[in-house]
Amino acid sequence: MLFACDVVLFLQVRWQVTTQTSDIFGAGTDAKVWVQVHGPNGMLNGAEIALDNSKNNFERNNCDTFFFDFPEDKDCGTPISKVRQGPQLRSSTAPHATLSHQSLVLYHCI
């Protein structure tokens, strides 16, 4: 039996991350890409966030959008103080990554 007092409401915070890869030779990557977002409450989700979905992301001249929902206690808050982005290059056989020609847009959707 479930009573109304047994229901716990978990507030979620939505973030949208949009990347735009340049249209120049060598732009794009097949490597896994991550982002870290820091604000007044610390790092968003407390860890790197993998940017991935079912599409072929980070290709030359492409715009990719990702949505993330986190519990309110994992939100970094605003204003954003620091953003780090990079490829996960864990071995010498990892795909070539050129992220220096990519712009990043973050939206804090409440």
Position 45 confidence tier, pLDDT thresholds 50, 70, 90: very high
Predicted confidence at residue 10, as pLDDT, reads 65
Position 5 confidence tier, pLDDT thresholds 50, 70, 90: very low
Tell me the whole-structure pTM to 2 decimals: 0.76
Number of domains comprising the chain: 1
d(CA 85, CA 99): 8
Q: Tell whether 6 is covered by a domain.
A: no
Q: Tell whether 4 is covered by a domain.
A: no
Sign of the CA dihedral running 70, 75, 76, 80: positive
User: At 93, which CATH number?
Assistant: 2.60.60.20
Considering 5-9, 39-43, 57-61, 75-79, the range whose residues carry the highest mean pLDDT is 39-43
Judge whether 41 and 81 are in contact, CB under 8 Å. no
| Domain, as residue range, for 18 | 12-109
Q: Tell whether 55 is covered by a domain.
A: yes
d(CA 101, CA 89): 17
Q: Tell whether 39 is covered by a domain.
A: yes
